[in-house]
Structure 1
Amino acid sequence: MPAPHPRRDTVLTLARSGVRPVDIARQLEIAHPTVRNIITCARSQGADVPRFNRPRGPGSGPRKALRVPLTGRARADLAEAAATRGVSLPVLCSRLLEAIASDDMAAAVLDDGDPDA
């Protein structure tokens, strides 16, 4: 039998306190399927872990994944930056895009001279 995931206890504590699996995955920077598997396995062993229903209504539910093509060089540079920070490439890219959007820095990053583009 394989050893339990090193963050198993933390995942279950957060789940029992009502934190959704997708939010646990983001907070702990581990894969969402891993969190679901930990919770499912714990339930099958009799652990009392609540079920999480997806919210319904406009603007609710999981965000759609965004696929962004990268050149080999850009991917390698970003992967190195992600490793330096101890996060995955998708987590780093998400953080970069969130920072650019929230700080209204698209024009500065693109350096295209159009402040409204």
Structure 2
Amino acid sequence: MVKGKRTLAENIADNGGIREAFRAYRRWVQKERSGVEESLLPGLGLTNNQLFFLSYAHVRCNSYRHKAAQDQIHSGAHSPPKYRVIGAMSNFEEFQKTFNCPTTSIMNRGADSCRVW
């Protein structure tokens, strides 16, 4: 079982980090590209905002051996990667808008969303 007190600071950092990274990306599009989106990647059917969030999740994509996963859960400062992604993104309204997450979705916390900054 993940120790909430042990991972709290990093969970807060993940929430704030994804927000600031997305804001910086959108600011770059507005300033450096005069609001013109980059060309979409062919054949994917994803928007650039969707690709931003997919990239964040991909960075967290890991595979652990059972013992290493146990050690990480018992002594690590981070939640397991899957929950770092779910936690940060389900708390971020821009993610929910980008993927049209219904209010009943696990990825849309709505009024229960957690935001520190």
Interval of TM-score (by shorter of Structure 1 and Structure 2): under 0.3
Higher relative contact order (CA 8 A, sep 6+): 2
**Larger Rg over CA atoms:** 1
- Please state which structure has a larger fraction of its residues in helix: 2
Using structure 1 for the length normalisation, give the TM-score. 0.24
